[in-house]
């Protein structure tokens, strides 16, 4: 079996999907886990990108159905987490409006991130190695502060934290790993990026969100494809078992091997 086939089986990616059936399956998955966990709903951080928009749509449908079926209040809490001024924050609010989210909040992470960066830089100075925290390093602090904030909210509101991770991100290790705080549930798992887009169209995600370049918002101008050097078209082709150029295959598989620690449970002896 080729490495490509092993990866496809590991992530359970299908070569073709029925978007309507996938939406139904994933909404039911969320409903079942919410009931099993005994929580009052779901928390989803809405970045303004397509992954969180699709996850938000699934969450809202799940909690609406649970409330209708049980007569009990269930919520989907949409959280906006800019760092200072976020140029595309309007897309986050557009997603919340499209799905008629009743519960939304904005938690600006700028002060918390800058305070941590300052403390780290003071530590560097005490080590006789004065320097600024690197741009990628500060980007990772942003990701982790976002998760800390989500879990602080989720704990007191008895919610599950929903992740936006999917197979295209698992393939490259570009997702919320254990060290970032992880998440409670990932309803997009086993979908590649192309398939997430298919669900987005059926869920009526705003076109401004569907058409934008994927980014984790870690620093200005950062995009997933630029950082990885791999397009999501090639990534999705690979996960669907299609032939991709040899240099692309090599890059994908090298990235996969390099990031295995992100997909593995925390080791111990």
* Token pair of 210 as six digits: 């569907």
Q: Tell me whether residue 169 is one of the annotated catalytic residues.
A: yes
28 in active site: no
Q: CA dist 47 to 91, 123, 257, Å?
A: 8, 31, 28
Kindly name the residue from 22, 165, 169, 224 that is annotated as catalytic.
169
22, 191 contact by CB (below 8 A): yes
Tokens of 163: 């992740």
Considering the candidates 22, 51, 91, 224, report the single residue annotated as catalytic: 51
Residue keyed to tokens 């996969």: 256
Active-site annotation, residues: 51, 169
């Amino acid at each position: 079996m080729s490495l490509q086939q092993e990866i496809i089986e590991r992530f359970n990616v299908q070569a073709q999907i029925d978007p309507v059936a996938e939406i139904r399956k994933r909404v039911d998955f969320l409903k079942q886990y919410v009931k099993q966990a005994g929580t009052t709903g779901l928390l989803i951080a809405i970045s303004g990108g397509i992954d969180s928009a699709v996850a938000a749509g699934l969450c809202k449908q799940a909690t609406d159905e649970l409330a209708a079926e049980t007569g009990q209040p269930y919520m989907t809490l949409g959280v906006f987490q800019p760092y200072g001024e976020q140029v595309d924050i309007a897309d986050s609010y557009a997603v919340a409006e499209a799905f008629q989210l009743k519960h939304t909040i904005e938690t600006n992470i700028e002060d918390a991130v800058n305070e941590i960066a300052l403390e780290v830089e003071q530590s560097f100075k005490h080590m006789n190695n004065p320097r600024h925290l690197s741009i990628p390093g500060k980007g990772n602090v942003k990701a982790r502060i976002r998760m800390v904030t989500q879990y602080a909210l989720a704990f007191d509101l008895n919610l599950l934290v929903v992740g936006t991770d999917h197979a295209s991100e698992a393939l490259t290790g570009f997702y919320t790993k254990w060290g970032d705080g992880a998440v409670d549930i990932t309803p997009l798992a086993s979908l590649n990026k192309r398939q997430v887009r298919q669900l987005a169209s059926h869920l009526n995600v705003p076109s401004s969100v569907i058409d934008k370049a994927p980014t984790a918002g870690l620093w200005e101008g950062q995009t997933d494809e630029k950082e990885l050097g791999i397009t999501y078209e090639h990534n999705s082709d690979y996960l669907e078992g299609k032939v991709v150029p040899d240099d692309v295959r090599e890059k994908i598989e090298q990235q996969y091997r390099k990031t295995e620690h992100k997909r593995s449970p925390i080791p111990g002896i």
